[in-house]
Amino acid sequence: MLIRHGEAREFDFHGLRVADYGATCEGTASVATVEVPAGGRHRFAYSSRCEKLYFVTGGTVQFDVDGVVYKAGPGDLVVVPRGDVFRYANWWDESAKMLLVHVPAFDPAAEHVLPNEIRLHDVHVRGKRIALRPMTENDWEHVLAWNADPEVLVWSDDTTEIRPEEDTKDIYRSVSRFAFVFIIEDEGEPIGECWLQKMNLPEIIEQFPGKDLRRIDIMIGRKDVWGQGLGSDAIKALVAFGFEQDGADGIFTLVSPKNLRSQRAFRKAGFRQAPLEWRGEVALAVWREMSG
Ligand SMILES: CC(C)(COP(=O)(O)OP(=O)(O)OC[C@H]1O[C@@H](n2cnc3c(N)ncnc32)[C@H](O)[C@@H]1OP(=O)(O)O)[C@@H](O)C(=O)NCCC(=O)NCCS
């Protein structure tokens, strides 16, 4: 049997160019090609029927599969198991191409695209002074303002360049799929944000097989309250939640070597230097057996 290029059904899927060769082998598989233009992305989704195999034939694509991030280039194969929440994006300048195999054959009725908004949760945590409450889509006013302050960004992101608002929203929305994302409040007023996220870096996960690892990222957007103990209070509250209620074995953070205030705040919450490096960042970790 030969299915010619011209016979594939071509269509646009949210900016991705798909050519579907249809079901083969009596429906046990189907094949398509996907072109992901520069800046193109597939929304978070999952299939209740199919395993998906993406074979990259050109360019680079960043995948997020069940909360773990992979950068895939030509010749790499990304496997998305049935039921796993995933997305992919091409953050690079060159268009990317992939061969996609669905096992069994693709069925649109089994594909579920998730809402493009912050995942809600109902966890509330109290520190000595601060309170952590779920971040929602109603918090953009504060969160976008903090992310538009170069004096904050230079510490949180090592840049003073302000991202477009939609890109900032995309970060919180996508992280929230695999994290508890919080607003930090002091006396009822929002002063910052933080999250406890499933560890997303394969380089770190591989070094600790069988361990349930998480990471914390934090930003106190109100720079007038830096250095008053609120950051370490929030970190301690997140660590207690992670170990006592959410089953974490180890919690990491990655900090710029220049960010001594942040390193100190994490050390005050029990974090110590981890025996690894990640792209020039200082990796600090706290382990369940060390905490308390
Ligand atoms: C990092 C951050 C969360 C820490 O919160 P915070 O409330 O300021 O921290 P704390 O007051 O709990 O602890 C800070 C500690 O660092 C110390 N510190 C402040 N500036 C310092 C410096 N330049 N060098 C060394 N220590 C410093 C403080 O004295 C304090 O230690 P102490 O209590 O022993 O005196 C907050 O400052 C922040 O959000 N900054 C901007 C964004 C950012 O850096 N995010 C983290 C990215 S990894």
Strands 213-220 and 250-255: parallel
At 184 the pLDDT is: 98
**Is the pLDDT reported for residue 291 higher than 90?**
no
Packing angle, helices 230-244 and 260-268, rounded to 10: 50
The full set of domains in the chain, from first to last, is: 5-113 (2.60.120.10), 125-287 (3.40.630.30)
Q: Tell me the per-residue pLDDT of 97-128, one tens digit each, with 9 for 90 and over.
A: 999 999 999 999 999 999 999 999 999 999 99
What contacts 22, CB < 8 A, 6 or more positions away?
A: 3, 8, 9, 30, 31, 105
Cβ(157) – ligand 1 distance below 6 Å: no
- Distance in Å, CA 230 to ligand 1 centroid: 9
**Is the pLDDT reported for residue 150 higher than 70?**
yes
At 134 the pLDDT is: 98
Top pLDDT among 215 and 275 is at 215
- Distance in Å, CA 247 to ligand 1 centroid: 27
User: Ramachandran region of residue 83, left (φ > 0), alpha (ψ -120 to 50) or beta?
Assistant: left
**Taking all residues of the chain, what is their mean pLDDT, rounded to a whole number?**
96
At 292 the pLDDT is: 59
Residue 227, number of CB atoms within 10 A of its CB: 12
What contacts 239, CB < 8 A, 6 or more positions away?
A: 216, 251, 269, 270, 286, 291
pLDDT band at residue 289 under the 50/70/90 scheme: confident
CB 228 within 8 A of CB 246: no
Cβ(156) – ligand 1 distance below 6 Å: yes
Region 237-244 average pLDDT: 98
Q: Tell me the per-residue pLDDT of 46-80, one tens digit each, with 9 for 90 and over.
A: 999 999 999 999 999 999 999 999 999 999 999 99
Using CA atoms, how far apart are residues 182 and 184, in angstroms rounded to an integer? 6
Q: Tell me the per-residue pLDDT of 159-199, one tens digit each, with 9 for 90 and over.
A: 999 999 999 999 999 999 999 999 999 999 999 999 999 99
Cβ(267) – ligand 1 distance below 6 Å: no
User: Ramachandran region of residue 147, left (φ > 0), alpha (ψ -120 to 50) or beta?
Assistant: alpha
Using CA atoms, how far apart are residues 46 and 67, in angstroms rounded to an integer? 12
- Distance in Å, CA 261 to ligand 1 centroid: 3
Using CA atoms, how far apart are residues 159 and 238, in angstroms rounded to an integer? 26
Cβ(259) – ligand 1 distance below 6 Å: yes
Rg of the Cα atoms in the chain = 21
Beta bridge partners of 218: 194
Cβ(219) – ligand 1 distance below 6 Å: yes
